Structures are given as structure tokens and as C-alpha cells.
Amino acid sequence: MTDLVSVIIPTHNRAHMVREAVDSVLAQEGVRMEIIVVDDGSTDETPEVLAPYRDRILVIRQSNRGVSAARNRGVQAARGQWIAFLDSDDLWLPGKLRAQLDFFAAHPRWLICQTEEVWIRNGRRWNPKRYHAKPSGHCFDRLLERCLISPSAVMLHRSLLEQVGLFDEDLPACEDYDLWLRIGCRHPIGLVPKPLVIKRGGHADQLSASVPALDRYRIRAIARLLKTRELSQEQRAQAIAVLQKKTRIYAQGCRKRGREDEARAVLSLASRLQT
């Protein structure tokens, strides 16, 4: 269905937040959409909270396998050609989906875009730093440095996922960083310069706050990409430079904590991939 947007909401034990997320999607107007909530093995009241929405959303329940598996399950069930993700602790503002469809109508060759966001941490508005500025266009070099694309702000054409693959279910964190690199080395990233997402952080179950040493997984993502033939000569040089920097910093942290073997291993990985 070319004009259908499939909205995928992964959730795990967020009964206190998922209702607001679903309501923010239902408030979107002027868009044909389906809403798929993937309950990733919740043990709280999530099923009861979602029960009143059963005639308006599809709920898929699976054993707890992580956010990547939940998003992938949603993609597999989706019927639309356009895919939008919403983390269950975030919210959309009115007009988010319509603005992105309008972007694609104006840029028919672009296959992915995101919107600006309002960041809320511990209930208070937080202003991102200049280096957090969202990119537009071909921006692989900036995507290497840090994760500058938010799953909750993205809409993409499903053909992208067919081309580069889904979220890596073996990564406990930085799974979005990994996917954006695989997309960004081939395609421009669009930007709707309007804050249409409320990104809520600072709570105890936030994935990025609960997984230590996130650069370990960013290093893994860059290393895997370098082992493919997807990168141009310039992109490869950019990736190697960032890999060297991240491995050096990570190795220093390992040595401070007495993990000398891990430090040597990660430095050896960077050395092997330079050739």
C-alpha cells in the first residue's frame, strides 16, 4: 500500500508510558496509517493498558528479545511502504507524519527523513549541544562520530530495509547507530526542520543509560561496515579515522579498569582494518 504508513512501537514494561505514545499517534491527522505495538515480553500491566485500543491497533506479543527484535517483528508485520518508529517513552506532536510525507512528495528520490525534536530529561526541557545538530543530505562522516538520527523521528521507505537489512538483534545497544551507518553510506538523510517529536530521557529503564561502554558497540558497527564493500574510498578513510579514535579512547578506559587483554584486542582490531 503505497500511501499507508506503518507505525511501529516497541515496548517493554512501560505501561505507565505506552498509552501516551499510542495516543500521540492516534492524534495524527491526514494520514492513512496502521499502528503496530510489539510487546516485548512485558510483565507489568501493558496488556491491560493496550486492551481498550484493540480495534485501532495491532498488538503483537513476543518473549523478551530486545528492542531490535521488537522493531524487526513490527517491520515484518507491516503492510505499508512507509515505516515510522516510535519508542514507547517518546511522543509525537500533531502533524509529524503529514510533514514527513510532504517532505517525500517534494523530494521523490529521498527514502528517509527525520524531524527535529524537543528533548525532555527528568521532566525538564534540555537543550542539545551544537554537535547534536541533526544532519541533512549525504552525511556519513557525521553519522560516524555519534548517533544523530532518532528512531522516533524517522520515517523511511521499506525498500531501504530490504536493501541494507533490519536492526542487528545481536547488538544490545547502538543498534540504531549501526542501521543509520548502513543507510547513510548509500543515501542522503532528509530533515524536516520542525520539532515534532518529544524525546523523553533520564528514566531508569532507558537503554542508553543501562548499557555500559556504548562505544564498544559503535566500534563493532564500524568494523563490520569496513569488512563490506559498501564504502567509497573516501568513506572508508573516514570510517578508519573514527574507528582509530574510538578504539584508542575505549582502550584507555579498559586499561584504567585493569582490562589489558580487552584493550589489546580492540586496538588490534583497528590495526587489522586499516589495510
Q: Averaged over 78-86, what is the pLDDT? A: 98
Residues 223-267 have pLDDT tens digits of: 999 998 889 999 999 999 999 999 999 999 999 999 999 888 888
* Mean of pLDDT values over 133-137: 94
Do 35 and 127 fall within a single domain?
yes
Q: Are residues 154 and 227 in the same domain?
A: no
Last residue of a domain, one of 181, 209, 237: 209
The verdict on 237 and 199 lying in the same domain is: no
| pLDDT classification of 100: cutoffs 50, 70, 90 | very high
**pLDDT at residue 210 in the model:** 47
Residues contacting residue 55 through CB under 8 Å, at least 6 positions apart: none
Give the cell for residue 31.
Answer: 494520514
Residue 2 is predicted with a pLDDT of: 64
Shared domain for 34 and 142, answered yes or no, is: yes
Residue 28 has what pLDDT? 98
What pLDDT is attached to residue 38?
98
Quick one: which of 86, 72, 76 has its CA closest to 26? Answer: 86
Considering the domain architecture, whether residues 222 and 179 belong to the same structural domain is answered as no
- Integer-rounded Cα Rg, in Å, for the chain is 19
* pLDDT (0 to 100) of residue 202: 65
* pLDDT tens string 149-199: 999 999 999 999 999 999 999 999 999 999 999 999 999 999 999 999 999
Q: Do 272 and 226 touch, CB atoms closer than 8 A?
A: no
Query: Which among 47, 120, 56 has a CA at the least distance from the CA of 90?
Result: 120
**Residue 16 neighbours by CB distance under 10 Å:** 14
- Same-domain status, 233 and 204: no
Shared domain for 32 and 57, answered yes or no, is: yes
Q: Dump the DSSP string for the chain.
A: -TTEEEEEEEESS-HHHHHHHHHHHHT--S-EEEEEEEEES--SSHHHHHGGGTTTSEEEEE-S--HHHHHHHHHHH---SEEEE--TT-EEPTTHHHHHHHHHHHSTT--EEEEEEEEEETTEE-PPPGGGPPP-BS-HHHHHHS----GGGEEEEHHHHHHH-S--TT-SS-HHHHHHHHHHTTS-BEEEEEEEEEEEE--TT-HHHHSS-THHHHHHHHHHHHTSS-S-HHHHHHHHHHHHHHHHHHHHHHHHTT-HHHHHHHHHHHHHHT-
Q: 237 and 133 in one domain?
A: no
Q: Is the pLDDT of residue 21 over 80?
A: yes
Rounded to an integer, what distance in angstroms lies between the CA atom of residue 13 and that of residue 205?
9
Of 166, 183, 209, which closes a domain? Answer: 209
Q: Which band of pLDDT confidence, cut at 50, 70 and 90, is reported for residue 109?
A: very high
Task: Tell me, yes or no, whether 47 and 143 share the same domain.
Answer: yes
- Does this model's pTM top 0.85? yes
Residues 202, 222 share a domain = no
Q: Write 266-269 long-range contacts (CB < 8 A, 24+).
A: 266/216, 266/219, 269/219, 269/223
Same domain, residue pair 112 and 236: no
Residue 50 confidence (pLDDT): 97
- Claim to verify: residue 85 and residue 182 sit in the same structural domain: yes
Domain that holds residue 155: 4-209
